[in-house]
Structure 1
Amino acid sequence: MRESYFRARRIRGNETMRRMVRETSLSVDDLVYPLFSAFGSGIMKEISSMPGIYQQSIEHLVEECREVQGLGIPAVLLFGIPESKDGVGSDAYSDSGIIQETIRAIKREVPGLTVITDVCLCEYTDHGHCGVIEDGDVDNDATLELLAKEALSHVRAGADMVAPSDMMDGRVAAIREALDNSGFSSVPVMSYAVKYASGYYGPFREAAESTPQFGDRRSYQMDPANRREALREASADIDEGADIIMVKPGLPYLDILRDLRNSCNLPLAVYNVSGEYSMVKAAAANGWIDEERVVLETMLGFKRAGADIIITYHAKDVARWLGRN
């Protein structure tokens, strides 16, 4: 047997060598931590389907933001649970709404932490859909005005970035125009450009209290069977002025993540969603998997597929594990 043929194990023999040739790296700088802000005080309610994740009133959420910043995580993504809901999601764009008050508190108490806000109406409407209902479905164009108002109200309260998740056609352009016309042309938009109608959102619906009261969201979220459509959706949002584009969910759509990485040069985010988180937590609680190893492998998978930013409920644990290594 000749000795010159390729032997992959030559560069796997010890940890120092493996570090030297490692192709993909994971950093705390890659992470965004989602948070659920609830109206009221003294609220610290664990979400039954998401162990370790809570609905929190503002004073508790601010304390968690201090912890997040102390771990080196650069940003949080805010979702709101309002005091009351109505047909047009009024609290979403109220100057005294739950998210607007939360932004002000974080900016006052935890300066330097980047605050990203989810822009959608589903958490604020009594019907649980992402926009204005007409004839039993969401009216796309009637919803755009409200989404633009919501984004503008978040930025006026101090948000550093807005992230529209509604999947209405044209919403990036509407939000970009509203921000630019109000003197906020420097505020970036991170678009949920590719958001599938997924079964992986179940635990989030409990966390955000946003389950649709009738029908489903398949008329505006993407069909999981479609791949090429993702490129069209992302291209449209880029043309409308998106600064960052996102794929949601993460693990079942790594092919989409790679397609987008190959086709555009914008920063690319991925949302490691609630169902993905909860499955890992459940398996780990039963002793079926090594949680740390599986989570870090998952994060590397997102990075390897092309993600620059990972939105994940595992963020605090990942930051601790990376800091220990």
Structure 2
Amino acid sequence: MKDNTQKPILVILAAGMASRYGSAKQVESFGPFGEKIIDYSIYDAIRAGFGKVVFVIREEFLDIMRSNVGDKLPDTIEVTYVYQDFDLSKFGVNRIVERQKPWGTGHAVMSAESAVDGPFCVINADDFYGYDAFQKMASFLREQATDQQMALVGFEVGNTLSDFGYVSRGICEVNEDNHLQSVTERTNIYRKDADIVFEQQEIETILPDNTRVSMNFWGFTPRIFEIARALFPTFVEQNHENPKSEFFIPDLPDYMVKQGLANFFVLPTDAKWFGVTYKEDKRQVQQSIEQLISEGHYPQRLWLEKKVVDESIYLDF
């Protein structure tokens, strides 16, 4: 296998339970040959120059993830699996907390620490981001990322909605230098007539269509693990009696920015995100993928045969 230590690492969060969708979205088929959304993300990441994929999963999902995704990937890509579980002692927390779900996306990132030794990107397994996002992030991680300079791909909120219900998004405040100032989680965002609104305490607030939002497409260095380890024990102590509390990724950059520890560049994209928040979204996702294939952005079948072409980019399917 080629040495990929200088290439960015892709960390895929695939341990969450799909409470609104109702099934394991991570291994749901959407492409013409059973491809998952995660397959298209990995395909785009390889083309953009990523060299390693780390899956953050529940241990009981290992065989499913391997057979459905990991074992189909080209041999030029290093693949690692790490587990998000309920053992808090490895994060310096001695308290035992009974929960049905893990502690959220920030906790998931912490679970990947043992497999990450350089600049890395974090994405959700069930979101379709498009090649532009991976290309911009890979370039940033190779050329600009430091412990004081990290990044987020900022999508336009108008390109991230579902036709079938509300969505949650991290609303970004960005300054004139494209530096992130804050991320505020809004949980009830939807289109109402010609406007996009979010609802809080029965009050509707209009959001411009081009408002930048976080879709959990972050670029970090391993410094983020130190920050998470410092904040997580306090979060557990404050929330151990709340079984639905979650330690979110945006809490970490938000803290770092406000404490002057790092700048986060917001890398803009006008790509249309799509995903499956609700069961009804599935057909629209399938149609979107069909259109991208017809336009030549993706082959009909992603992982047909393992053939390495041009700097280990897996192109011939």
Q: Same fold (TM over 0.5)?
A: no
Determine which structure has greater relative contact order: mean sequence separation of CA pairs < 8 Å that are 6+ residues apart, divided by chain length.
2
Q: Of Structure 1 and Structure 2, which has the larger fraction of its residues in helix?
A: 1
User: TM-score, structure 2 length as denominator?
Assistant: 0.30
User: TM-score, structure 1 length as denominator?
Assistant: 0.29
Indicate the structure (1 or 2) with the bigger Cα radius of gyration.
Answer: 1
Q: Of Structure 1 and Structure 2, which has the larger fraction of its residues in strand?
A: 2
